[in-house]
Amino acid sequence: MSGFKTIDGVTARIPLHRCNMEELAAYQRSIEPSPGVMFHRNADRQKKEAARSLILRLCGGIEWPHRLTILTMPGIDWMFERHLLGYRETKWTTDLVQAARTRIFSIENDRAIYFAAINKMPGRTTLDGTVYVKTPPYFAEHAVKTNFIQRFFLANVDNLMEEALRDIDPPHYDVAWLDYTGPLSIKRLRTIAAFYQRVVNSILIITALKARWDRDTSNAVERAGGHSQWLRDHLSGEILHDLEYQDTVPMAQFAIRKQTPMWMWAHDTNIRNPAAKLVDDKKEAPAGT
């Protein structure tokens, strides 16, 4: 994917990863509203916020006092990530230069939402509000970071999971929240189950549309005795919550924790190499340079 840049009065096409922040903002203004944008604009957020609060309790400073590496799918406003930093990083908006014990990796597949969300990333208005454009991994089209968001990828989360499973030494996340706007499928659930088993150290949360399955998935859900039981048949561990809510459409949220989380024996030594393969912070280049 590429944008346009005027060079000596001639419009030229350039890759998005070579655009500076002003050029990305100009590109964003030219994007037509996408289905993801329309979902974000029209959704009734109250019940979504209640479901989000359950995840915040699992990851807050009291329930999770040690270092946390988490994968999220943030949307434009970064509401969950901001609340999470508020729970875990005291006075992060005014006193901290960078997060001390919270490593947030985020991903968004919708280009319009992605580029709009860059302008609202946590860290933009803190003591050092620099946004760094980073070389994206091979599954992503674009990547940026701030001092409070380790990476924000323009990519499909299913591709991230598939590539991690192919990796001999994959990145690891203590918690992964897969916040889909669409439904699960047989193939997607198989990928999620393998990702949970191999890459997630402790907690997996799945939020998905509980409708519009393809025929094979619908039959699989029916044979299992329902959506919840279908998930339980593929994911083993302690069920933390299993709920449904209406967010203009029927949604299901399922949270599960491994019986023996990896961090219990890894402690704070990062033995499991959490997400290290996605980060190379030795050389930073501010956006636009």
pLDDT in tens, 120-153: 999 998 888 899 999 999 999 999 999 999 999 9
- In percent, the amount of the chain with pLDDT more than 90 equals 61
Reply yes or no on whether the pLDDT at 17 is more than 70: no
Reply yes or no on whether the pLDDT at 97 is more than 80: yes
Pairwise CA distance, residues 281 & 287, whole Å: 14
Superfamily of domain 44-278: Vaccinia Virus protein VP39 (3.40.50.150)
- Residue pair 205/178 in contact (Cβ under 8 Å)? The answer is yes
Average pLDDT over residues 89-107: 92
Sign of CA dihedral 80, 242, 202, 181: negative
Pairwise CA distance, residues 191 & 231, whole Å: 12
Q: How confident is the model at residue 99 (pLDDT cuts 50, 70, 90)?
A: very high
Per DSSP, the three-state class of 192 is helix
Q: How confident is the model at residue 90 (pLDDT cuts 50, 70, 90)?
A: confident
